[in-house]
Amino acid sequence: MRPVSTRLRAGLLAAGTALTLLGTVGPAAADSAPATRLGGAWGPFTRCPVDDPAMLAADGRIDIVQCIASHSAGGSIKLGTTEVVTGASDLQLGVVQHASGAPTLIAPADGALIADSADIPGGLLGLMCPSDIPIIGDLCRQVTDSTLNRVTATVESAGTPSDFKLTAGATTGQPIVAIPVRIHLQNPFLGGSCYLGSTSNPIVLRPRNLTAPALGIQRFGANGTADPAGVMNRLSLTGANQGDATFAVPGASGCGLAGMLDWAVNLKTGLPSAGGHNSVVLNSASTYLAGLHAPGTVVPNNGKLLSQYWHSAVQ
């Protein structure tokens, strides 16, 4: 067996340490207990950025504020030649609707999108082994247990979404929102900075309804209690499968010591991959939009009242 170089051994050890630390402070899973729990009809909006200055400043006439939350329990994503079954995902945003022009989207402090990690089929052995390249061959021979072999992929926010179209959410076939993301590949040998996409060159998902959602409208009180004469409205668009097959995926970066494994990840997974060769599906998505029923009657306090009512529902 060819020995692994001292430099490579040191790099792999450092990478494993970095990954351990990252696991301590990484993004929360989409189905983990949220930091905030809200009662009644406010329930889906656990991360709405109601205290963002742009949200608070909305007056109710020129600018109107709303909260969006969209959750899917699972789905799949195909990147190049690799397809992965995914877990839950949770997208939340604040929306500032302007009297003229496109709406402004506000992301929560922890990012618009939070998603569960998914296992790459075959792990590291499936991702880059076997190989007749000496360094990769040496690495493959070090993968002796499931912990070292496991590779997870986590979709993370890589910027604030844009191009939100409410009407597209109620129909089929039209992009609803543009979501910039990057995909974090994690394994002790890959290190803590192995990504597909980046904040400067993100993967941009434009999900659309593949099936028609069920439409519902609900009035509720400030604290979330159902009330046909309540001060709040909630629009529900539920049960639709969503997807996108138009996005491009750049090559890997930051994989292994000084990125020495980028090319191996790219070669095995068929990256970079142009639009039309990748896809994402979200099963049975539930999307909600909430705002004051009559914001024009509370000018200039639309944003301040939305924040006050949201906080009154915290449990």
Query: What pLDDT, in 10s, does the model give residues 92-145?
Result: 999 999 998 899 999 999 999 999 999 888 787 777 676 666 667 777 777 766
Mean pLDDT (the chain) is 87
- Rounded Cα distance, 1 and 3, in Å: 6
Distance (Å, rounded) from C-alpha 176 to C-alpha 102?
A: 13
User: Would strands 152-157 and 214-220 be described as parallel, antiparallel, or unpaired?
Assistant: unpaired
pLDDT average, residue stretch 267-293: 94
What residues pair up with 115 in beta bridges, in sequence order? 89
Instruction: Judge contact between 151 and 264, C-beta under 8 A.
Output: no
Q: What is the pLDDT of residues 148-161, one digit of tens each?
A: 888 899 999 999 99
Q: Which two tokens stand for residue 76?
A: 């799949």
Please tell me the predicted confidence (pLDDT) of residue 133. 66
Q: Domain locations in the chain?
A: 6-26+58-312
Which DSSP string corresponds to 14-62?
A: HHHHHHHHHHHHSPPPTTSPPS--B-GGGTT-TT--TTSHHHHT--SSS
CA torsion through residues 193, 197, 200, 202, sign: negative
Q: Predicted confidence band at 24 (pLDDT cuts at 50, 70, 90)? A: very low
**Sign, CA torsion 306/39/112/272:** negative
Residue 34 has pLDDT above 80, yes or no: no
Q: Residue 121, Cβ neighbours under 10 Å: how many?
A: 12
Does residue 3 carry a pLDDT above 90? Answer: no
Supply the angle between the helices 134-142 and 6-25 in degrees, to the nearest 10: 60
**Percentage of residues of the chain with pLDDT beyond 70:** 85
DSSP state of 222: T
Mean predicted confidence (pLDDT) in 245-252:
96
